[in-house]
Amino acid sequence: MADIRPFRGVRYNPALVKDLARVICPPYDIIPSQLQQELYKRSDFNFIRIEYGRELPQDKDTDNRYTRAAATLKRWLEQGILKADDKPCLYIDDHRFTLRGKTCRRRSINCLVKLEEWDKMIVRPHEGTLSRPKSDRLNLLWALQADTSPVMALYEDSDKQISTLLNKPDREGTDLDIKLKDGESHRIRVVSDTETNSRVHDYFAGQPLYIADGH
């Protein structure tokens, strides 16, 4: 079934970027133009410049939002604003938010997933996709040679093997703790332990994934 692996993530350098709440941005498809402008002003290093840069009247094939995003990524890597982790990891994101007056937590496992032919039903497709967003994300992917808009997939954990396994590192603390003004927060743990990552890999070897959304 699903073949998932840890990877060397690229993250903001905490020595140069102190307040992560000022540099993160929402997924591209929920960023209206007004918020896009606000994110540009929030920080010179806000990720909006890579994830969903502004379109300009003078844009052309050699100078557009995608080429500018690639140039920004290259510059930030050279300046040390962004740094790649030394070894492959899984990135566990506990996203807390309020819905209808109730505090909720959504846990995500950020990882590599092997591409599969859709008819194998290992990665089960979304019910419908739109050509314009797909073209936009593919253009950015080719320009960056990096994925900034990961696909969100669901999986079954009826016996709670994964939730139990991934709860254990809570004792080790949080690598990133981001609190947003609207009450949302992200607590991210970086799991480099090879035994834990192997057990996660083995569990998903018996599970299909269900694509829920494009980010």
Maximum distance among all Cα pairs of the chain, rounded to whole angstroms = 56
Residues 21-55: tens digit of each pLDDT: 999 999 999 999 999 999 999 999 999 999 999 99
Torsion of CA 50, 79, 180, 68, to 10 degrees: -10
- Does residue 168 register a pLDDT over 90? no
Residues 92-144: tens digit of each pLDDT: 999 999 999 999 999 999 999 999 998 899 999 877 778 898 899 999 999 99
The predicted model gives 168-172 an average pLDDT of: 54
Query: How does DSSP classify residue 89?
Result: B
The predicted model gives 170-174 an average pLDDT of: 54
Burial category of 214 from C-beta neighbours within 10 Å (exposed 0-12, middle 13-18, buried 19 and up): middle
pTM exceeds cut of 0.75: yes
Query: How does DSSP classify residue 5?
Result: E
- Does residue 215 register a pLDDT over 70? no
- Does residue 174 register a pLDDT over 70? no
pLDDT band at 171 (very low <50, low <70, confident <90, very high): very low
Torsion of CA 146, 147, 148, 149, to 10 degrees: 160
Query: How does DSSP classify residue 72?
Result: H
Is-contact 25 54, C-beta < 8 A? no
Query: For tokens 């500018």, what's the residue?
Result: 68
The number of CA neighbours under 13 Å toward the Cβ of 3 is 5
Q: Quick count: other Cβ atoms within 10 Å of Cβ 132?
A: 7
